[in-house]
Amino acid sequence: MPKLKIVGGRRLSGEIVVDGAKNSAVALIPASILCDETVEINNVPDISDIDALEEILDYLGVKVERGKHSIVFNDTKIDNKFIPCSMSGKLRASYYFMGAILGKYKHVDMCFPGGCSIGERPINLHLKGFEKLGAVVREDDGRVIIDADELVGAEIFLDFPSVGATINIILAAVKARGKTVIDNAAKEPHVIDVCNFLNSMGACISGIGTGRIEIIGVDHLHATKHNVVPDMIEAGTYVIIASLLGKNLKVSNLDPLHIESLTSKLEEAGVNLEIGDDYISVADVGEYKGIDIKTMVYPGFPTDLQQPMTPFLVSCEGISHIEETIWENRFQNVADTIKMGASIEVSSDNKVATIYGSSKLVGKEVSATDLRGGASMVICGLIAEGETIIDNISYILRGYDDIVGKLNRVGADIKIVD
């Protein structure tokens, strides 16, 4: 199995250009099925999650033209058959095929989605939303069968502002009869991007980016071209790296507002950030003090950045805390970070990590436990003394387009080895 080999301690200079958002692209691609004409999506990240979605499209008979950072649907009709676990189980975002296929064909038959082991990852809010729209949902040994004679707009209140449930219910509602309201909806930039994409093909969605989204059903969705919004989590990951090792290191093609929760925390720790309209750069690094972080839904501190933030807090002076409120098992990267020399305690309920700073990390053989945990280990390797070998790197390659090339080009000593 390929591994990453990193020799740490190198200062990084130059420019890293952020790609399109994984968590938008993985929704836009299934959503394209809803369109009645052609669809072109650009700024698509070149990552294995997109390959997994393309495999499902191919299985359903949807032929697409895939470029390195684009995908074109010349025909969106599908052969609506059972989607097996071998395909849907490869990623969590396969669940967007539920909303899209239900919204267009009123019948879905597929296995439950997969995804990283950061928590139990239920989809009850998605399925409850489909039922509110008039669908009948049957679950049978990991398989979901959803049928609707007709989808009728409804008032839906989400127990939790779930990103996936918000998007999936919108997909099922865009062609339903009448008005659907989703209250307590998610506001993440990738949710906004999916709404803008659907409206660009003639959907009628309002309240975008607020907690109350209204969808008036339409009969026809026309051709569209769309650019995926920049990836706020990829951007944040590289801004953290710049804060630790940057010497005139610029992270560009980002919206600073999307990661204001991160930049405000980095500045609280003492990082000197230059924040432009579409870039963030670090001229030089300094001594930083420990801070406390609590993960929240957008616009709060994103759960997907708490693991990449851990090596930063390890490097700060003093004591820091990370409180993870979204997922129940998202400190799996801590064990290997301790193995590299960090001093971290996780509470017995697995909700709070206490980080005793000023630790100097030493390169070791470690593993990626999940996507963002893997990114965290890359950052540990970049700041550690000596050589770090990271195993299970398929997790990392699921969500970071050309991470090795991007870091090499700014001076990191990182390569994929067998």
Q: Binding marks (x or -) toward ligand EPZ, 296..325, rule CB under 6 A?
A: -------xx---------------------
Q: Binding marks (x or -) toward ligand EPZ, 27..56, rule CB under 6 A?
A: ------------------------------
Distance between CA atoms of 151 and 156, rounded to whole angstroms? Answer: 14
Interface residue with ligand EPZ among 9, 119, 209, 270 (CB under 6 A) is 119
Interface residue with ligand EPZ among 90, 92, 226, 406 (CB under 6 A) is 92
Q: Which of 248, 230, 257, 251 is nearest to 239 (CA)?
A: 251
SS3 content of the chain, % helix, strand, coil (to 5): 35, 25, 40
CB of 22 to ligand EPZ, least distance (A): 6
How many Cα atoms occupy the beta-carbon half-sphere of 2 within 13 Å?
A: 11
Q: How many CB atoms lie within 10 A of CB 346?
A: 18
β-strand partners of 152: 177
Residues 253-292 interacting with ligand EPZ (rule: CB under 6 A) = none
Does 157 engage in binding with ligand EPZ (CB under 6 A)? no
Q: In what order do the strands lie in the sheet with 3-7?
A: 365-367, 387-391, 3-7, 413-417
Does 160 engage in binding with ligand EPZ (CB under 6 A)? yes
CB of 1 to ligand EPZ, least distance (A): 21
How many Cα atoms occupy the beta-carbon half-sphere of 298 within 13 Å?
A: 19
Interface residue with ligand EPZ among 162, 184, 237, 392 (CB under 6 A) is 162
Residue with tokens 């650009």: 42
Interface residue with ligand EPZ among 29, 232, 371, 410 (CB under 6 A) is 371
CB of 298 to ligand EPZ, least distance (A): 7
How many residues bind ligand EPZ (CB under 6 A)? The answer is 25
Kindly name the residue from 35, 85, 111, 116 that is annotated as catalytic. Answer: 116
β-strand partners of 156: 182
Nearer to ligand EPZ, 121 or 339 (CB): 121
Could you give the C-alpha distances from 348 to 185, 194, 353, in angstroms and in order? 31, 38, 10
Does 372 engage in binding with ligand EPZ (CB under 6 A)? yes
Catalytic-residue membership of 35: no
CB-CB contact of 241 with 379 (8 Å): yes
- Active-site positions read 116
Q: Interface with ligand EPZ by CB under 6 A: which residues? A: 22-23, 26, 92-93, 116, 119, 121-126, 160, 162-165, 303-304, 326-327, 371-372, 399
